[in-house]
Structure formats: C-alpha cells, structure tokens
Structure 1
C-alpha cells in the first residue's frame, strides 16, 4: 500500500514539475476543440403526431378489411418521403429561397430525406419528426423551418389519403372500362363464331339433336314399329283364317222353315264370328253363352230335314271380317312404310357419324374460348362495380378521418448538438491530455525523483540525498510563477464559462 502511495506521489510530482507543459497542451486542445464545437451548426427539431381513424362499418361490407386499410396506411407512410413529395416541401417552405437550378433542388431534397423521420407508434397513430440545420439560416430561422417542414408533411399526408385515393379510384375505373370494352368486343366475336358454327353443322353437334341421340331415338322407334308390325301381322293372319272359315252366304229355308234350327244356328254363328272379329276372347260371357246356344242348336239342326224351298243370303259376319281385314292390311302397310323410312334414316345417319368427333372437338374448343372470355368479362364487371362503390364510400362517407393530436412543435433549443456537454467534454479532455503529456515526458527524461530509484537503477548504494535549497529571490520568482500559472488556469476555466454563457444566451434569443 505504501508502494502505491509513493508511486502516486512520484507521478504527481512529475506532472507538477511540468505543469506549464500540461497547461499549454490543455490550452491548445481546448481552443481547438471549442473551435470545432462552435463550427457545428445547430439542428432544430420539430415533432407532430396525427391520428388516422378509418371508418370500418361500411368499409367491411364492401371488402375493405382492416388488413387492406393498414396496407394503405403503410403505403402512404412509405411514399410520404418520396422525391415528389419532398419537392413539394421544398417549394412550400423557406428552402425554396435558395433554390435556382434543378441540381440545387435535388440537393435540398436529399438533405430533407436525411432529416425527416416518420414513425408509426400504433396502427392509426403516426409521428412526424423533422430537423433543420441549414447553414445559410440563423438559429431562429432553422427553428421556424423545422416547424414548417412538419406542417407541410401533414398537409401532404392528408392530401395523399384523400385526393390521392380519389385519383387512384378514377384511374382504376378508367382502366377497367377500357378492358371491359375490349372484352365485350371479343365476346361478341366469339358469340358470332359459335352461332355460325352451330348453323353450319346443325345435326352433327353433340347435345340435344346430335347424330348419336338421333340414331338412338330412331332405333328405339324402329323397335316399337317392329313390335307393332308383328302384332298387326298376327291380327291380320287371324282375320284371314276367320274369313276363310266363314261362308260368304247363308242358305235360308222357305217360309215354312224360316224359323228352323238351321237358321237360328247360322245366325248365332254369325254373331259369334262378329264378336270374335271385334276381339272378344273365349272367356267373354257373351262368347260363352253363344257357344252353349250353338251346342244346343246343332242337334236340332241335324235332325231337321233339308227343305227344297231354301235360298242363300249374304253372311253379315263375312262382310264384317272383310272390313276388319282391310283395316288391318292398311295398318300393316303403314307400319311397314314407317319401318322402311327409319331404316333409311339410320343408314344415312351412320354415314355421317364419322364426321361427328372432329366437329364435336371444334365445338368444344369454341365453347371453351367463349366461357373463358365470358368469365373474364363478368370478373372485370364485378371488379369495376366494387371499385366504384368503394370510391363512393371513401369520398362520400368520410371513411378516413385525420386528427392532429400534437401540432408541430416550435423548438426553443437545438436538438443537436448538445453544445454545453461538448464544451465540458473538450475541457476535461484538454486537461486530461495535458496531465498525460506531462506524465509521459517525466518518464521519457532520465531523472530519479527518489534515492531509492537511483540506487535501484545504478545498482550502487546511495549514502544520502540533499534537499533543494531555495533562496529568497527564488522564492519570490516561484510565487510570481505560481500566480501566473493559477491565472492562466483560471483564464482557461473562464473561457469555458464564457462559452457556456454565450450558448445559453443564444438559446434564449431563439425562444
């Protein structure tokens, strides 16, 4: 512990012996540092906060959800510091006074881009910060300029969200109208092409009335005709058989035997033949009754002698069967003619069926192109109506409302640099550099502050040491020297204090 204390005393003595060197270095560094600090221009900062309230009730109904509204806010925030908007700021503030050429305008825009900051504290809360440190303006002018820049940015922010949104909606509707007109023309051409193709290939296209369906319908009808023709042919054959077994005339006895059994038998048989011709079966009650009557009359007719006074009369059953046969023959002829016609149609359709696949494929392609154009047209029409509705909602219902929470502040003191702190740091750095220089010089020069140091360095024993003897004249000179040293040191502190006072006076002048 004593060793450290001795070392500290030795270091302090070394610096004290070279105090003028330390003071000179401190003065030089402080003057240089204070000059650099004085040359740093003051930067004044103005801040403002605005709130953006988005109407969400009607907007959600038309598809403008929260995500899209947030995306629009981010887009405005990102483009607010664009070159076009910054040029508006330059033209609308005092910066325009020093702008003559386009190059100077670009320089001012770049300077603004570096000094403007836009923060999004929340989804609907924005903070705009602007700094001004123009070298050709005074501190008061820079303070006013910073506030004007923030105010101009707020105006542009509102303009971009209101008139910018309207302009974007108008341009979008104009573009969609042009696309709709083009799609409508293409759709009309596709419709005409499809109608023309259907007219030229009528009957060969798939769907209702195609060759395959027509052939299937003809085959089904042909099967029905053949079934009906078979039934009609069978009925005609039955009538032919009945007609062959039915006499054309009936022998009638004389007056005496006019009511004999033979006449009654012939009459009943004629009635039964007529009933069979009408389609009655053996199970019919009248047929059953006639059969019983015929069975009863046949023995009586066999016992009755044939008289010479009989005569032949036309058989009504024969005539009835003949008329029915003529009707059946006409039906069979009509069915046969229809059958021949269907067979001819089937042969013709079969010859055309080979062309159907290619025509069907072409028709499918035409329909596909038409449906694609129709879908695009409907989609564009829906989009246009939605954009138009959204534009009306945004412009007529105040969907976006701006509220300035904190107006642009008027800075009373520079935001940068912190000149009092820099001045104090320069003073401390200068004093430290002076002390360090004196201490380093003490180690560079070959001297021994104590007898122990000399004995250690030489390796020889040191018998003793003689203290410095100061005369009266030296004491007077030393006191004068010390007064000069203290005065010079006080002057350094005084210069620092004066600079601090000047700084605060300048700040008060800005306020």
Structure 2
C-alpha cells in the first residue's frame, strides 16, 4: 500500500511539473468549447398529433357480407413504413425544400438527413400518433410536418384502395381460370354420359345395387305370374263346368235373339282390360317400351279372334239352337269376364317377366365393365364438384370484395382527425447549451490533465532515488542535496498563485458563459 501511494505521489509530482502545459491546453480547449456552444445554431421542432378513428357504424352492420380488414394493424404498419425514400422525395417537393439550387450529392444528403430526423411516434394505445421534425428554420420545420401529415393520410387511403383493386383483379383472373376448368369438366362429364347411357343411372346407385334390385323385381314378377296363372286356370275350370250344365237348357226365344245378334263377352272383357292396362302403361312408358308393344300385340290378336268367334257363333246359332242359348247365361258371362281379366294379367306379367329377365341378363353381362365405368364417373363427378365449389366460392368472394370496396368508399377505412395542427415550439429544442458548456468544461479539464501527464511521460523527471534506481536498474552511489534560496521560494509561491489564478479564470469563464445563457433564456421567455 505504501509503495502504491509513493508511486501515485510520484506521478502527481511529475504532472505538477508540467502544469503550465496542461493549463495552456485547457484554456485553448475551453475557448473552443465556448465558441462551439454559442455558435451551434438553434433548432426548432414542429409537431402535429393525429387521431385515427377505426370505428364505423357500417362495419358491424355489414359483418359477414364484407371483408373486415384489421385497420389498426394497417395504420400501425403504415406509420412504421411511412418514412421511405419515395415518400421523403415527395415530401421534399411538397415542402419546397428543392427550390434551392443543389447538386445531386447535396440532394441525397438532404434526403438522408430528413429520413434520420423525421419521427412518427405513438402512445401505444388509442391510435394517437405524433409527427415531429426539427430544423434551424421554424417555418421549414412547420412546412415539413404539414407535408408529412398529408402524406400520412393519403398513403393510408391509397394503399387500401390499391389493395382492394389488386384483390379484385386477382379474383377475376382466378374466376376466369376456374370457369374454363368448369366448362372442360362439364364437357368431359357430358361425353362420358353419352358414351355410357345404359350404364349411368341418375339415382346414384352403383351396379351391384341396381343388379340386386333387378333380381328382386324379377323374382317378384315371377311370383305374381304364377299367382295370375293359377287364378286363370281356376276361372277356366269354372267356366267349362258352367258350359257343361248349360247344354241341357233350351230356350227358343234366346235362340231367335241369338240368330239376330251374337256377342263375345269374354273377348270383350279381355279387350277392355287390355285397353285399361295400355292406358296405364302409356302414362309411365313410351310407345317403344316392350310392355306397351306386347299389350298392343295382344289387343290386335284378340280383335282378330273376336271377329272369327262372332262369325262362328252366328253359324252355330243357326245350326245349334241349344248351344246358342248359353250365350245369354249371366253366370257364364261373369266367368268369361273373369277369365279374360286373368288372361290379360297373365299376358302382362309374362311380358314383364321377360323384360326383367332381359334387363337382368344385360346387367350381369355389364358387371365386368361396371366398376371401371363407376370409378371414372366418380372421378369426373369429384373433379366437377371441386371446380364448381371453387368457382362459386370465388364468385362469392368477388361480390364480398366489391361490397368491401364500396364500404370503404362510403365509410372510409379510418377517420383521420388532426388533434393538434402543425405548430413550432417558441423555444429551440436543440442544442442544450448548458449541457454543451458542461461537456466542454469536462473536456477542458480532462484534456489539460492528459496533456500534463503525456508531457511527464515524454520527459520524465525523478524526485526520489528509488524511482531512478528502479527505472535504470543501476546502483545509486549518492545523492546531492540542493539548497533553495529565498528568491527561489518567492518565485515558486508567485508561480503557484499565477497557476491558481489561471485555473480560477478558466472556471470563471465557463461560469460567466452559463450566466449569459441564463440571461438570454430569460429574455426569450419574456419576449
């Protein structure tokens, strides 16, 4: 510890030896600091405050029909990206900063300076933004802030409208593309259906389901045919029995009437039943349907049979009066009608069974190609459904975008309210001359001490033999004492007084400068 203190005292004694060099440099630095503190021009700040109102009564009303953008996020991003080179170049023209003749280098320097000094700050809530700029000329600062406010509002509106137009253009292009895809899918689906008319069903069932349904219809038709045949056979047996009993009856009056007119009630009943069945079939099928053609063929055959039987009955009525009497038997006529109805039903069911059998056979033969056709149909329907859904969604989004654009025009993206118009502070905001003087005083003191220390290191002086021995690493043989005279003592005392006076003068100079600043500020406040 003693060694450290000794070294410290040694350094201070060497610095003290070169004190005048340090004091001289301090005075030089002090004068320069004072000049700089008073010569630096004042800078005046102009600022404006804008409130962005993102609420609108139309937006809640149009919720679900129009796209609701995040306006607050858009405004925040705009405030962060507003100070860009294109906007600053526009601001230079709007604020008439390009009226002075400038070289290209000076213009670039001016733009860089504006980009660094312009500021847009927010309070973090309530969408309140502060735009500020400082310049030596207060009028220039005010014009710059006014131009910045205009650019801020115009950029927000222009960006939103540009986004809406870009979105609409993109959606229209996508709609055209999907419309072409949809038309192509419809054409492929139409061609596929035309190629496979007999295989493609409109009920949505696959080939296996249709085959099972045809088999069930065929079995049901066979069962109905057997029932109808049994009913027909029973009616025929009853009619034959009734005819056998009627051979023993003789009625001359009926024979006389029969010679005049004969009838075929069995055939007439069958014809009536076939015509009713034909009417029912025509309501469900076309003329080319197999059931319709079969019934028409039966009607034609029965009409021919009726003509032959009527001729035969007239001949029998003349030759066999007893047999003719049976024509007018009501029981026999009823049984004849029943038999005719059963015959018609059997014929119809036979045609139905034949048709179902042919359909079932065709379906069985088509089962080999049905899975491939069904897979192709499923793929075509899926592609068509996807393209149709995308097309309809895009059309709906285009309408939503159009409504959103009209909503933005009607209600505005946001309401920009100028809370505080651009104004210039009456007092300069920079530079802080008190701070400059304090920093100048500190630099002056540090510079003087450093100059004295540097001189002591360049031209070292040793005040103790131990320092010399440690520095040179040579033995010290002896020490010669120096006697100080009274004149020398007086000279040293005067030198100290002069140094103290110079130091006090240096501090006094800075003190007077600060006092002058206080007076100047007080006068500006009064004015």
Work out which of the residue numbers 223, 230, 245 in structure 2 matches 1:227.
223
What is the deviation of 1:461? 13
* TM-score (normalised: structure 1): 0.68
Please state how far the C-alpha of 1:100 moved relative to its aligned partner.
Answer: 5.3
The match for 1:334 is 348
Structure 1 residues 249, 25: CA separation in 2 closer, same or farther (over 3 Å shift)? closer
- Per-residue displacement from partner, 1:205-244 (whole Å, max 9, x unpaired)? 2442878466455434433332222122222333444456
Question: What pairs with 1:86-485 in structure 2 (closer than 5 Å)?
Answer: 86-98=88-100, 104-123=106-125, 124-132=127-135, 139=136, 141=137, 143-208=138-203, 212=207, 215-242=211-238, 245=241, 247-251=244-248, 316=329, 321=335, 324-325=338-339, 327-398=341-412, 400-435=414-449, 444-447=460-463, 468-470=485-487
- TM-score calculated relative to the size of structure 2: 0.66
Structure 1 residues 437 and 170: CA distance shift in structure 2, 3 A: closer
CA distance in 2, matches of 1:177, 1:335: 60
SS in 1 for 2:422: coil
- Is the Cα–Cα contact under 8 Å of residues 62 and 386 in structure 1 kept in the other structure? no
CA distance, structure 2, for counterparts of residue 338 and residue 364 of structure 1: 32
Provide closer, same or farther for how the CA distance between residues 397 and 380 of structure 1 changes in structure 2, counting only shifts above 3 A: same
> 2: CA distance between counterparts of 1:53 and 1:499?
50
Aligned counterpart, 1:48: 48
Unaligned runs of 5+ in 1: 133-138, 254-310
Q: CA deviation at 1:156?
A: 0.9
Displacement of 1:426 in angstroms is 2.3
Aligned residue for 1:202, secondary structure, equals coil
Deviation, 1:191, is 3.2
Partner secondary structure for residue 162 of structure 1:
helix
Q: CA deviation at 1:121?
A: 0.9
Quote how far apart the aligned CAs of 1:80 are: 0.8
Q: Give unmatched runs, 5+ long, in structure 2.
A: 251-320, 469-474
Q: Output one character per residue of 1:406-427: Cα deviation in whole Å (capped at 9) or x when no partner.
A: 3334245554443332233322
Change (3 A) 1:12 1:326: closer
What number of residue pairs does the alignment pair up?
441
CA shift digits 1:46-69 (9 cap, x unpaired): 333221111243223434899812
Cα deviation for residue 32 of structure 1 reads: 5.2
Q: Structure 1 434/339 Cα, relative in aligned 2: closer, same or farther at 3 Å?
A: closer
C-alpha contact (below 8 Å) 2:168/2:402 kept by paired residues: yes
**Quick one: distance in 2 between partners of 1:338 and 1:241?**
26
Q: What value does the CA root-mean-square deviation take over the aligned residues?
A: 4.8
